[in-house]
Amino acid sequence: MADQITRVVIVGGGSAGWLAAGIIAATSPAHVQVTLIESPDVAPIGVGEGTWPTMRATLQTIGISETDFFRECDASFKQGSKFSRWTSLSKDDDYYHPFTAPAKYHEINLAPFWLPFKDKIDFANAVCPQAAICDLGCAPKQITTPEFGAVLNYGYHLDAGKFAPFLHKHCVEKLGVNYISANVTAINSHENGDIKSVTTNAQGEIVGDLFVDCTGLSSMLLGKHYDVPFISQQNILFNDSALAVQIPYAEGADTIASYTLSTAQTNGWIWDIGLQSRRGIGHVFSSRYTTDELAERELRNYIAPVVGEKIAQELPVRKIAFNPGHRETFWHKNCVAIGLAAGFIEPLEATALVLIELSAKMIAEQFPANRSAMDIVAKRFNTTLRHHWKQIIDFLKLHYVLTKRTDTEYWRDNCLANTIPDSLHELLALWRVQSPWLYDEMLREEMFPSASYQYIYYGMKAITDVTGASRSIGSGKHLHDKKLRKAEALFMENAQHIQQLKKVLQPNRELIEKIKHHGLQTI
């Protein structure tokens, strides 16, 4: 075929560029050659430290050893997220969004059967063992569990500054990715408007058939060259700033949390991620409602009990400013944007890396054979990515609209009807009378399965009317009784499962040390 697509040129490195390179090189047709151009003068943002469980399959697909990953990327386990003070100012206001779905989720919706007992046990602990295991500080697997295998579903926390070089080495040495260290000085076009090549200061002209824009917030190809509009979502998701800091573990306090802790503040929230050697902590906030100085004070007050007042005031804090939103189109002509070049919003549910994974996977699995096919693949890609972005925005906003906090204008304004998308309004109206479940999933691979909506909705003390819930169980008494017996059995089994796991799962740090020393089984 004269217009066969054989040369993929990725412009930009970091986690986005090297993940894209690895996925495309490992899973695209054999005739495809991947070249990555990375500027030696542009440092990656490097604060994307949380992943979803999808990363396990991604690393396995591109041929990476999980043992090597733990040894070289300061990695730890992530079993979900814990949210504190999002519903109220109470010190005991917290809930989990675990990665393990409720028991037998695709067979029965346990939420309606839990509702009558909502004051006795929180939703996550009633339907899944993972929240209890996280509270105990335990890991989600054993040393005898093979690489990428799990007792409980998990993703990772990782050092983004070590992850990109780790991927770089693997992609070049194992997957044959052609690496060029250079600055792009010009973008050259064909007569039809496609990108023909990019000119670099060190290697001259680099010709390609498909160009992947991984140039971060600058969006050099899709944004600057093609001028694809950026759609801000700041009217829905207010946060546009972050302050990040790295802190050492307190002496003698070597526990590594196997979840991301998100603690609500007066005008935003603080993330707290535990790696092997340190904790990564950051304050995400809205510049419309507070100042950098006040946000930094809250961040330093948060870390002071851990490192002491003196160190808390001295640790360097890094500022990151962003416009929350995404490009109107993600694949234009023969250019597709991945990562920050496509868009960015607050890292509340660690969507940045998973969007990179999904985007690269879709490119590789539907790799266009020729230029004509590319337009069809691009159309599908854009439709899918628009849906993903819409769902991300709705899901993150859900965390805010369910709050009962009224202590600041920030929290009050987040609940204003004109800041809530119509699609989320509809879901909230529906969930008042029937529980979130499988019918809320529109695509085969949703960013957030309906189980995630259950964990957030019920974790933040939202209620589904019992009458409406009973209708969703089924009107026939025989069917109702049968499901009730099954639900009761599953609640009992979950309680027993928690006790069993307590006996066999060890502390997070202990398992990580064993992995580093002995390694995991590769089969």
Map out the domains of the chain as residue ranges: 7-49+159-233+324-389, 97-141+421-504, 241-321
Structure tokens at 387: 């849906």
Q: Are 198 and 57 in contact (CB under 8 A)?
A: no
Rounding to the nearest 10 degrees, give the CA dihedral for residues 382, 388, 389, 394: 150
- Give the Cα separation of 208 and 170 in Å (integer): 22
Question: What CATH number is given for 7-49+159-233+324-389 in this structure?
Answer: 3.50.50.60
- Say what the pTM is: 0.95
Q: Are 213 and 220 in contact (CB under 8 A)?
A: yes
Residue partners of 505: CB distance under 8 A and separation at least 6:
133, 136, 138, 139, 140, 141, 142, 151
| DSSP per residue, 415-465 | T-GGGS-HHHHHHHHHHTTS---GGG--SSS-SS-HHHHHHHHHHTT----
Rounding to the nearest 10 degrees, give the CA dihedral for residues 53, 58, 60, 63: -160
Q: Are 164 and 12 in contact (CB under 8 A)?
A: no
Q: Collapsing DSSP states into helix, strand and coil, what is residue 109?
A: coil
For the chain, the helix, strand and coil percentages under 3-state DSSP, each to the nearest 5: 40, 20, 40
- Give the Cα separation of 498 and 413 in Å (integer): 40
pLDDT, mean of each 10-residue run, the chain (523 residues): 87 97 96 96 78 97 98 98 97 96 96 95 98 97 97 97 97 98 97 97 97 97 98 98 93 85 98 95 98 98 94 95 97 98 95 96 96 97 96 97 98 98 96 91 81 97 74 59 94 98 96 96 79
- pLDDT at res. 114: 97
Closest by Cα among 8, 11, 9, 7 to 182? 11
- pLDDT at res. 220: 98
- b/e sequence 55-65, b meaning 16+ C-beta within 10 Å: bbebbeebebb
Closest by Cα among 329, 369, 324, 365 to 348? 324
Burial of 372 (0-12, 13-18, 19+ CB in 10 A): exposed
- Give the Cα separation of 390 and 387 in Å (integer): 5
Q: Are 202 and 183 in contact (CB under 8 A)?
A: yes
- pLDDT at res. 3: 85
- pLDDT at res. 439: 86
Closest by Cα among 443, 219, 445 to 336? 219
- pLDDT at res. 484: 94
- Give the Cα separation of 354 and 449 in Å (integer): 14
- Give the Cα separation of 122 and 167 in Å (integer): 40
The H-or-E segment that residue 292 falls in is: helix 292-307
- Give the Cα separation of 38 and 367 in Å (integer): 23
- b/e sequence 414-448, b meaning 16+ C-beta within 10 Å: beeeebbeeebeebbeebeebbbbeebbeeeeebb
Structure tokens at 430: 């529906």
pLDDT digits (tens, 9 = 90+) for 479-495: 778 999 999 999 999 99
- Give the Cα separation of 467 and 82 in Å (integer): 30
pLDDT digits (tens, 9 = 90+) for 296-307: 999 999 999 989
Rounding to the nearest 10 degrees, give the CA dihedral for residues 449, 450, 452, 455: -160
Structure tokens at 451: 């189980």
Q: Are 71 and 519 in contact (CB under 8 A)?
A: no
- Give the Cα separation of 106 and 152 in Å (integer): 17
